[in-house]
């Protein structure tokens, strides 16, 4: 292993006494992000005002940062651009892909997908009318469900609840053999598992930066378009910054070259500054090391919890090859158990109806924390410490 995880860990600001196992939902603060954002605010926005778009290079940031994200997901320079939220990027990728396969009407997804992806797909199908439909099947049935009616597969590689991981290469190959295009959602893959978009011959991919990439709440999403499609894909959200010449202010839309056309409107410069600081830490790590260490942490957690907490049922695949970087357990009182854990400094999260979710993020979590988290969970379970009214009232965000 060449990655120095003690060094990467020192780059994050983590509150005293907290074991943070929720970096799969919101990554922690990279220490350098505070100063980096402050500099963008005072020295750039404060001093340069609107000239910052040129002088500070703001306008080029979405693709410059996109290239850095691309390195983590096997995408060559010039194929990834940042902007908007993931839900919007799902819409864009899906709409473009559907238009490129005009004789077919089915969007195929699975019931393990994140609801926003399904809602967006359903909403788009309704807008398009003309026979478009969203077909969802159980995750294990996706392969068989790819038939000659499927225009586009919309699959999230790693299941947000269970961590179950689809075989991207295999499913993409099958989809292509049946004449379908592929949109892969990397929300729980980018920064969690090695991804090889080029090697898997993926058509479109999207993902977010505030989970494993640590860009902070509301950080921008990314979209990847395969080079072979880049100049053919028509962006359904044809905003001015995706235009070939935004400052010509033409009345007609002409898509920009390649991935630039997937830009929509004004980019979030402060969030991109935070993401740049976060990506400096990623430059210190290799994805293979991160993956090997995340498997070691996940395996230790499963062994520890199963030995001490017989009432918790593993919800994630047991084979680490078939899961992402999170481990989930089921329990009917999962919400209260998670609140009891959080009250004791172990932060994971809960996903309805009964899932306790723990993310393992080697950049800042080590074996010591996994051991300690296992001990605290064992105390909570063995003493039924979760069984208190204040742990059972659901908050707005779970
Ligand atoms: C986290 C997540 C989202 C969230 O979308 P936003 O628009 O960023 O809120 C969407 N899809 C998947 C698969 C996710 O895991």
DSSP labels for 305-365?
HHHH-TT-EE-S-SSGGGB-SEEEEE-TTHHHHHHHHHHTTEE-EEETTTEEEEE--TTT-
Which strand (E) or helix (H) includes residue 355? strand 355-359
**pLDDT at position 149:** 98
**pLDDT at position 72:** 98
Q: What values do phi and psi take at 283, rounded to 5?
A: -65, -20
Q: Cα of 217 to ligand 1 centre, how many Å?
A: 12
Q: Cα of 89 to ligand 1 centre, how many Å?
A: 10
> Which of 378, 379, 373, 343 has the alpha carbon at shortest distance from 359?
373
Contact status, residue 221 vs residue 82, Cβ threshold 8 Å: yes
- The pLDDT tens digits of the residues spanning 130-185 come to 999 999 999 999 999 999 999 999 999 999 999 999 999 999 999 999 999 999 99
Pocket test for ligand 1, best of 116, 215, 271 (most atoms within 8 A of CB): 116
Q: State if residue 286 touches ligand 1 by the CB under 6 angstroms criterion.
A: no
What's the pTM value of the predicted model, to 2 decimals?
Answer: 0.97
- Tell me which DSSP letter residue 46 carries: I
d(CA 20, CA 42): 31
**pLDDT at position 185:** 98
Residue of 20, 91, 210, 358 marked active site: 210
Tokens of 174: 């099958």
Q: State if residue 114 touches ligand 1 by the CB under 6 angstroms criterion.
A: yes
Q: Cα of 302 to ligand 1 centre, how many Å?
A: 26
Contact status, residue 23 vs residue 364, Cβ threshold 8 Å: yes
Contact status, residue 157 vs residue 184, Cβ threshold 8 Å: yes
Output the residue whose Cα is nearest ligand 1's atom 4: 86
Fold for 57-282, please state it.
Answer: 3.40.640
Catalytic-residue membership of 357: yes
Question: Does domain 5-29+286-391 bear CATH number 3.40.50.1000?
Answer: no
**pLDDT at position 167:** 98
**pLDDT at position 295:** 98
**pLDDT at position 396:** 87
Beta bridge partners of 323: 164
Catalytic-residue membership of 185: yes
Output the residue whose Cα is nearest ligand 1's atom 15: 187
Q: Which parts of the chain sit beneath pLDDT 50? A: none
Q: Where are the domains of the chain?
A: 5-29+286-391, 57-282
Q: State if residue 210 touches ligand 1 by the CB under 6 angstroms criterion.
A: no
Output the residue whose Cα is nearest ligand 1's atom 2: 187
**pLDDT at position 286:** 97
Catalytic-residue membership of 178: no
Q: Could you identify the residue written with the tokens 């962006």?
A: 235
Q: State if residue 116 touches ligand 1 by the CB under 6 angstroms criterion.
A: yes
Q: Could you identify the residue written with the tokens 């500070």?
A: 56
- The pLDDT tens digits of the residues spanning 37-96 come to 999 999 999 999 999 999 999 999 999 999 999 999 999 999 999 999 999 999 999 999
Q: State if residue 117 touches ligand 1 by the CB under 6 angstroms criterion.
A: yes
Q: Could you identify the residue written with the tokens 């060449």?
A: 2
Output the residue whose Cα is nearest ligand 1's atom 6: 86
**pLDDT at position 394:** 87
């Amino acid at each position: 292993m060449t990655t120095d995880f003690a060094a990467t860990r020192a780059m994050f600001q983590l509150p005293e006494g907290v074991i943070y196992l929720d970096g799969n939902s919101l990554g922690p603060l990279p220490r350098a992000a505070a100063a980096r954002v402050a500099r963008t605010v005072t020295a750039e926005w404060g001093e340069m005002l609107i000239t910052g778009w040129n002088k500070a290079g703001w306008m080029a940031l979405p693709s410059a940062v996109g290239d850095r994200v691309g390195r983590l997901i096997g995408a060559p320079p010039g194929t990834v651009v940042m902007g908007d939220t993931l839900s919007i990027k799902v819409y864009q990728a899906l709409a473009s892909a559907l238009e490129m396969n005009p004789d077919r009407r089915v969007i195929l997804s699975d019931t393990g997908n994140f609801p926003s992806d399904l809602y967006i797909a359903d909403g788009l199908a309704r807008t398009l009318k003309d026979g478009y439909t969203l077909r969802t099947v159980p995750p294990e049935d996706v392969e068989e469900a790819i038939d000659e009616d499927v225009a586009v597969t919309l699959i999230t590689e790693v299941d947000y609840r269970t961590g179950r991981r689809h075989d991207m290469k295999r499913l993409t190959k099958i989809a292509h053999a049946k004449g379908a295009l592929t949109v892969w959602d990397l929300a729980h893959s980018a920064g969690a598992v090695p991804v090889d978009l080029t090697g898997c011959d993926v058509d479109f991919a999207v993902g977010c930066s505030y989970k494993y990439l640590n860009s902070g709440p509301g950080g921008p999403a990314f979209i990847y378009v395969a080079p072979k499609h880049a100049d053919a894909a028509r962006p359904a959200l044809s905003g001015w910054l995706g235009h070939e010449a935004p400052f010509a202010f033409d009345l007609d839309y002409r898509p920009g070259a390649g991935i630039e056309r997937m830009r929509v409107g004004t980019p979030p410069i402060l969030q991109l500054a935070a993401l740049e600081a976060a990506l400096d830490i990623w430059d210190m790590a290799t994805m293979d090391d991160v993956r090997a260490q995340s498997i070691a942490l996940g395996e230790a957690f499963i062994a520890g919890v199963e030995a001490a907490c017989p009432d918790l049922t593993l919800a994630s695949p047991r084979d680490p090859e078939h899961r992402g970087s999170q481990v989930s357990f089921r329990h009917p009182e999962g919400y209260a158990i998670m609140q009891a854990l959080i009250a004791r400094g172990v932060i994971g999260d809960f996903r309805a109806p009964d899932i306790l979710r723990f993310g393992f993020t080697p950049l800042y979590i080590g074996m010591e924390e996994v051991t300690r988290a296992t001990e605290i969970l064992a105390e909570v379970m063995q003493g039924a410490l979760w069984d208190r009214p204040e742990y059972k009232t659901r908050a707005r965000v779970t």
